[in-house]
Structure formats: structure tokens, C-alpha cells
Amino acid sequence: MTSTEAYTDAADTARTAVERSADLWKQSVGSMTEQFERMWHLPEGNPVDDFTRQYFEYLHEGIEVNKAATMKWVAALASINDALRDQLQAVTDLRRGHIEAISTWISGESETIETAAKQQAEQIEKARREQIERAQQAGREREEQARQSERDQARRVRLKARERYEHLTKVELSEQLAERGLPKTGTVDELVDRLVSADSN
């Protein structure tokens, strides 16, 4: 039986008790009327007074009993109402607790997912920067290798060009420079370099 059904049964029982009390009151009033009608035909005297007093005492006791029973039913109904209210509050608190727990869990999961996504994005960005840096470094190394290769090639060409003048004396080098209208002063290496430069031009 659910709480609503228990509450409905208690209300029906209380209502039935009140209706019974009302019926008893009606019956008592009807009985009292019949008794009065009979008393009009009875001889006057103390027996009638005693009967009337006893009847009203009985009627008073019946009303008190009905009132006490009705109050008990009302109190029981109030207790059931309080119990239902407490139960409803407990269900509400339980529901609120579950909602808060679920909200906390969802919030925690969202933060975890957000943190993981952020970390992944940072790792991807870091890997991208490292890849760009490696590519740039590789480009610089290739450029440096190319320049070094050019310098090596120029040095080999220069050494090859110097070979034709290395067997000449300083006087002979000066004569060749004079023939080209170039300065004749300097060391042997300077004279050779001057002739090699003139050949490349």
C-alpha cells in the first residue's frame, strides 16, 4: 500500500466515524423525542424525573464518547499527515541529494575531460612547434652546408688557380703584375692572390 492510499484510508475511516457520530446523534434525538411523547402519557411524579435525568446522562456520556473517538481519529489522521509529510520530505531530500551528487559527478567529469582536452591541445601545439623548429634547424643546417660547400669549392678553385703561379719567383710575379698594370709590391702570397683575382675577372 502506498502512502497516498494509506492517507486516503485513514481519511475515509475518520469520515465514517464522524458520520456514525452524526447518526448516533440523530438517533438519540429521535429516541429522546419518542421518550418525551411517551412521557406525556405517563403519570407525573418522581419516576419520570429520574428517567429523564438518566436519559440525559446517557445522552451526555454518548456524546463524550463520540467526541473522544472523533478526536482520536483526527489525531491519528494528523499523525498520518505528519508521517506522509516527513516521508515526502525524505524523498525530496533523497532526490535533491542524488541530483547534487550527479551534478558534482558531471561537473567533475566535465573538468576532467576539459583538462584532458587542454593537455592534449598543449601537447599537439608543443609537437607542432618542435616540428617547425626541427624543420627550421634542418633548413639552417642545409644552408650552412651549402655555404660551406661553396667556400670549399671556391678554396679548391683558388688553390687550383694558384698552382700556375706557385713555381714563379717574386721577380717573375712582379713582371706579370707589371704587364697587367697591377701593383707589384707585397709578399709572394699577396702577389699570387693579386694575379689569381685578375684571372677570375
pLDDT tier for residue 42 given thresholds of 50, 70 and 90: very low
Q: Compute the average pLDDT of residues 134-155.
A: 91
SS3 content of the chain, % helix, strand, coil (to 5): 90, 0, 10
Q: pTM, whole model, 2 decimals?
A: 0.35
pLDDT tier for residue 180 given thresholds of 50, 70 and 90: confident
**What is the percent of the chain with per-residue pLDDT over 90, rounded to a whole number?**
17
pLDDT for residue 143: 93
Burial class of 151 by CB neighbour count within 10 A (0 to 12, 13 to 18, 19+): exposed
Q: Exposure pattern of 78-113 as b/e (b: 16+ CB <10 Å)? A: eebeeeeeeeeeeeeeeeeeeeeeeeeeeeeeeeee
pLDDT tier for residue 142 given thresholds of 50, 70 and 90: very high
- DSSP three-state, residue 68: helix
Q: Residue 14 pLDDT > 60, yes or no?
A: no
The domain limits of the chain are: 3-115, 163-201
d(CA 197, CA 201): 6
pLDDT for residue 22: 58
What would the pLDDT profile of 65-82 be if each residue is shown by its tens digit?
767 777 776 676 667 667
Give the residue with greater pLDDT, 84 vs 185: 185
